[in-house]
A and B are shown apart, each in its own frame.
Chain A
Amino acid sequence: MAFGLSLSGLGASLALDIPPRRPPTPPRLTELAIAKTKSLYMVIDIPKNLAVLKARGIAIRTFPLQTIKWIGDPLSQPLSLQLKGKEPMVSPLSITPPPTSDKATVPDGEEEPPISPAKALTVSDMPFRYELAFQDHLNVIIQPDHLPSFWGNAWQQMGGWKDRVAAHMSTWKAAFGQPSISYLVLSMEPAEAQAFYWAVVPPMPWLVVPGTPGTTP
């Protein structure tokens, strides 16, 4: 058969050498596999400029994305990933038990709550600029476009610039035979970025739907 085809012309023999391209998996099928689990999962829908926290196929929290940029090679087809870590990490605050003699006296029999609100981590304690690492060759940088204060904004811009330079440098690893890392830079409102940090917990599955930002209403 190969002999016959090579006789029929150059075009046909080339077609034999190139493996048939598999059609990309539709995002819906990729998501279906994730939605069957008991995990919460995040869908980064680039054409819709949205990050959607989902469970069992239903949206439970939506995060509007202000801008979406790629550093390195952008994705060409839907990619499912698993969140490995967050940088910086927020460590739990520790409770120091009181000595027995220091126990609080409580009026009218009502007990004092063992944990005061001051010892709790809240969403406002979360960072608004951070990096999310995955097991595959993709990292996600979250940063707000603007902060309310001038100096805060200046620091934010410098920090964002530093992150992006580091990301660009890491994409050069491919030139030295090392696996390259692509970066997806997502910007959102500071409060949304903090809520996003709170919402994503390793090893949460993610699905990135590629495309041109803002092309789908």
Chain B
Amino acid sequence: MLAPNRLSSLFKPTFLTISTGIGLSLVLGVPTTLLAASLLSPNMRPPQPMKTMPKAQPRPPASAPRNPMRALAPQGIYVVVDTAQNKVYVREGEKILHTAVASTGSGASLQDPRNPSKGWIFETPRGVYAILNKIKNPAWVKPDWAFIEEGESIPTKSQDRVETGVLGDYALGFGNGYFIHGTLYTRLLGTNVTHGCIRLGDKDLEYLYRHVPTGATLIIF
């Protein structure tokens, strides 16, 4: 079942290109009234996720015992994503508030036919992140790989890249163009099929949108 090592050398030197190339033009929020106007701009650039400063945490009282390790732990509600089991956990301290079945990165690779030394690896990035922004009614600005993968030619007009209604009602961005969003393919929840984003079912996505604040810690493993 395992693929031969033939691609490993091909993709190693272009890792940075790969990881940034996946995300940059992935999603924008659809303020539906503004979308049309912004799409008509000839110099439209793929929208970037808005960077939001994490909310300030309340200081512990002076009498509280100082535990440096505890001080590092996420304060308040945070999200843990298990990419092996395709599960998302909303946690507060040790307590699990909500569990959801998700879809995460497939780990598959795609070669760029325009430049064979470049390509993409569709992995969900691991590490500690923060929820940077929350978007209602997101639309997908399809990046180059979405067209290459489907054997289509890459459009020259920016507006030809926009697809609405495929990302669910909400999207929570965690940087570099990666989002937690909804899906049309609910039958694939629980499997590794995405291009790096984290897909959730409608109800679970709404739970996260309503309960996870901007600035909350996101741990992906």
Contacts and interface: CB of A to CB of B under 8 A. Distances in A.
Do chains A and B stick together as partners?
A: yes
Interface string A112-141: 011111011111010000000000000000
Which size class do A's interface residues fall under?
Answer: 35 or more
B13 interface: no
A166 B27 CA distance: 50
Interface in B144-173: 146, 148-153, 166
Q: Is the interface of A mostly helix, strand, loop or mixed?
A: loop
B126 interface: yes
Interface in B89-135: 106-111, 113, 121-123, 126-129
A36 interface: yes
A99 B3 contact: no
A17 interface: no
B204 interface: no
B77 interface: no
A162 interface: no
B82 interface: yes
Interface in A60-83: 60-61
Contacts of A28: 69
Given A58-B74, A92-B109, A115-B195, A97 B126 contact: no
Contacts of A116: 193
A56 B193 contact: no
B151 A99 contact: yes
B2 A100 contact: no
23 contacts: A32-B69, A39-B127, A53-B221, A55-B127, A56-B72, A57-B72, A60-B219, A92-B121, A92-B123, A93-B3, A93-B106, A95-B149, A98-B150, A98-B151, A100-B152, A113-B188, A115-B194, A119-B106, A120-B108, A120-B193, A121-B106, A122-B191, A198-B84
Given A97-B110, A117-B191, 14 more contacts: A36-B72, A40-B219, A91-B2, A94-B111, A97-B148, A98-B150, A100-B151, A100-B153, A114-B146, A115-B106, A115-B122, A115-B194, A121-B106, A123-B84
Interface of B: 1-8, 11, 68-70, 72-74, 80, 82-85, 106-111, 113, 121-123, 126-129, 146, 148-153, 166, 184-185, 188, 191-195, 217, 219, 221
